[in-house]
Chains A and B, each alone.
Chain A
Amino acid sequence: MAAESGVFTFAPAIAVLPFVSFLVALFAGKYMPKKGAVAGIAATAGSLLLSLVMLAQVASGHAHHMELYTWVGGEGVPFELTFGILLDQLSTLMLVIVSTIAFLVHVFSLGYMNDEGETGLPRYYAELGLFSASMLAFVFSDNVLMAFMFFELVGLCSYLLIGFWFRRPGPASAAKKAFLVTRFGDYFFLIGVVGIFATFGTGTFGGPGVEESFPELAEAAIAGGASVNTFFGLSPRAWFGVLGLLVLGGVMGKSAQFPFHTWLPDAMEGPTPVSALIHAATMVAAGVYLVARMYGFYALLPTVLAVIAFVGGFTALFAATMGVVKDEIKQVLAYSTISQYGYIMLALGGGGYVAGVFHLTTHAVFKALLFLGAGSVIIAMHHNENMWDMGGLKDRMPVTYYAFLSGSLALAGIVPFSGFWSKDEVLYETLVHGLGGSPLLLAAYAMGLLAVFFTGFYTFRMVLLTFHGEPRTDLAEDPEPVRWNVKIPLAILGVLAAVIGVINLVPVHALESSVPEFLHDWLYHGPEGLNGEHYHELITSPEFAGYSAGAIPGLGELGTLFASAGLSLAVALAGSAVALALYRAPAPEEHTAKLGSLKTLLYENYYQDEYQVWLAQDLTEETVAKNAKRFDDGVVDGFVDRVSDVSLVSGHFLRRVQTGIVSNYAALITLGLVVLLVAFGIVGGWFGGVFA
């Protein structure tokens, strides 16, 4: 332990560095040349460096777990509450992703915020620093309670940053909405955390040197080898299902899954770098990351997995259809983000742990890229986000265009860009497990596949409207140039989005086994109980999830793999081709009118906001809360008021005894004394036989 800790003792610094930058920007930001940006850039660069060191260390075979601080525990306490760090294959990978994106977004912010002359920059960089710190700490949390705390902290930072321009009504209201909707989900998560502690007596995820972890205890309990506390008379399996669903509430809120997705499109009111960092690449990933982190628990529960897969598949399709008609570039990207997180949920629910993490990785890169690209366009267009006012930006901002195109091809899933490989694997894993005897997974797969078509369509509609054709306004004719601090992050991410798929080339590996599946091998070599191999055993074990891999009849395993890949590519190409056919013209027209009444439905986002407002306002506020208030005012307060009325009225009469005249008081005292003396006298028998 001591020998291998070495460099791991620096692990807390990954989160501490951005926290220091938060303090620096908050208190000294206004005296600094870039208003705190330099501190943030330095801190996130340091975190990135340290994360890479940790990754290398873990790669050399040393997953690491350490406890930092026990804040509740000791003799006679049923469980310990601790802060600790778990560095394994999954968390170090995520640390590298988060710190990379955070670093690039800080650099990009120089162009988007500083160069645009925004005010309140120290606040902006402080919140960005706090976000990076809490997100990184969330990722390396070793237990579910610590994860929950930082889960809430990133939620707080999201609220603050969406409402960065809080003097305008839009961002302020969007921030409130995001806060409330995610908090609604987190409420279930909190109950789930309490339930996990009450059930297992521990909330640790596991890792090297950890004696008890709740996924392992749950596994043993279902297998009959351990006893745990269950509640409401449920069997362990059913009770774990309840716990899994409760935690899933937080996941769905944070990762914007149906029906908690409504906050994410509104969150686009925040500054675009914030959208890239928080609402595309990292914070929304926190939800699905949590599922991956606890996968040893979820893999035991086929019902919960089916719910995850179905919600994911449905969200992927549902959000993609809404993205089709949006006019603002960031709105398209927001719906695309919801849709892509649906895919990750689909993969995790469909038994594709590696596929889920893979898509999480590639999506973080290409979606951050697309948002930063959109940010660059927005700078150029003087903060006009309407795509119908753009057009022809291709020749005027080539770096942005090519980077954006790389991200778009990845998003649409066109070979060989990264999104193709990961999305294909997601769909493939779901398909084979569905064919193995799960019609629900097949239905989820069908929705995911259909969503690929819409993804291709809205992606290329966005690219064509923004960059191609003739400029449609004077602004697009002569856009404001962007500087290096915008172009460099775009270039880095643009290259990454194109090539990051090489970390897991499943179809190529199947053909030529000398090509390694890096991510697959990486995740399969995690610490005991936390690696992909173990999860795979759980998923396929009939005792637990009981998934089995099937194949399309007559094609075999390899054939199914290529049929799936070919199918998803064909669908993506079809969607892209339709977009090309409709919007390629120099002066494209709006085709949404042809959708008829469907257009209104899509524009209004299926009236999701309306029914949620109805739930919150008409039902909860007007009906439930009003009646509760009436009961409170009438019965509870009424009783208290009557009691106080009695004492008030009696006091009103009794106070007349107090005349304020000293002589009266003296007379009363004397009288009292006399009465007392007489009483004593009678009791003591002083008066002889008179009263006897």
Chain B
Amino acid sequence: MAVPVQYYLVLSAAVFCIGLFGILTRRNALMFLMSVELMLNAANINFVAFSFQHGNLTGQVFSLFTMALAAAEVAVGIGIILVLYRNFADVDVTKATTLRW
């Protein structure tokens, strides 16, 4: 009947790893942001899966909060990327290295 919880976990782990791979390899800031979103959503999948497994709604409510948080994060993130572009005429994260010693 229902899909066993292990499948959800595998899916979630896969999505998370894709996101992690994106963060580690991509240089475009937009791709960076998308990768972060993937990782967040992997967490969401876990929440919903366990919520389903345990039969209460707490996990689903949490995932709603996470989505709201992700929306806010994107708003800030895009703002930063915009400024990045204005300052460096590029959105390559490896170029913006002046904010250090």
A positions within 8 Å CB-CB of B? 655, 658-663, 666-667, 670
19 contacts between A and B (CB under 8 A): A658-B101, A660-B97, A660-B98, A660-B99, A661-B93, A661-B94, A661-B97, A662-B96, A663-B23, A663-B24, A663-B25, A663-B27, A663-B93, A663-B94, A666-B23, A667-B24, A670-B20, A670-B23, A670-B24
In angstroms, Cα B93 to Cα A660, docked, is: 9
Q: Which residue of B lies closest to A673 (CB)?
A: B20
Provide the residues of chain B in CB contact with A663, threshold 8 Å: 23-25, 27, 93-94
Tell me the complex Cα distance, A660–B95, Å. 9
Report Cα–Cα, A659/B98, bound state, in Å. 9
Q: How far does the alpha carbon of A666 sit from the alpha carbon of B24 in the complex, in Å?
A: 7
- B-side contacts of A662, CB under 8 Å: 32, 93-94, 96
List the B side residues contacting A666 at CB < 8 Å.
23-24
Which chain A positions have C-beta within 8 A of B94? 661-663
- Asked if A655 contacts B93 (CB within 8 A), the reply is no
Nearest A residue to B36 via CB reads A666
The 3 closest A-B pairs by CB, nearest first: A660-B97, A660-B100, A662-B93
Using CB atoms, name the residue of chain B closest to A671.
B24
Closest to B101 in A: A655
Select from chain B the residue with minimum beta-carbon distance to A655. Answer: B101
The answer, among B25, B27, B100, for a CB contact under 8 Å with A659, is B100
Least CB distance from A599 to B in Å reads 74
A contact residues around B100 at 8 Å (CB): 658-660
Q: Mark B80-101, 1 if CB is under 8 A from A, else 0.
A: 0000000000000110111111
CA of A658 to CA of B99 in the docked complex: distance in angstroms?
Answer: 10
A655, A659, A666, A667 — most chain B CB neighbours (10 Å): A666
Residues of A with C-beta under 8 A to B20: 670
In whole Å, how far is A670's beta carbon from the nearest beta carbon of chain B? 6
Contacts of A670 in B (CB 8 A): 20, 23-24
Not counting A661-B94, A662-B94, A663-B23, a sample of 15 additional A-B residue pairs whose C-beta atoms are within 8 angstroms of each other reads A655-B101, A658-B100, A658-B101, A660-B96, A660-B97, A660-B98, A660-B100, A661-B97, A662-B96, A663-B25, A663-B27, A666-B23, A666-B24, A670-B20, A670-B24
A99 to B32, CA, bound (A): 87
Q: Which residues of A contact B27 (CB under 8 A)?
A: 663
Complex alpha-carbon distance, A666 and B31, angstroms = 14
Contacts of B97 in A (CB 8 A): 659-661
Q: Which of A655, A658, A662, A667 has the most CB of B within 10 A?
A: A662
Q: How far is the CA of A670 from the CA of B100 in the complex (A)?
A: 21
Q: Which residues of B contact A659 (CB under 8 A)?
A: 97, 100
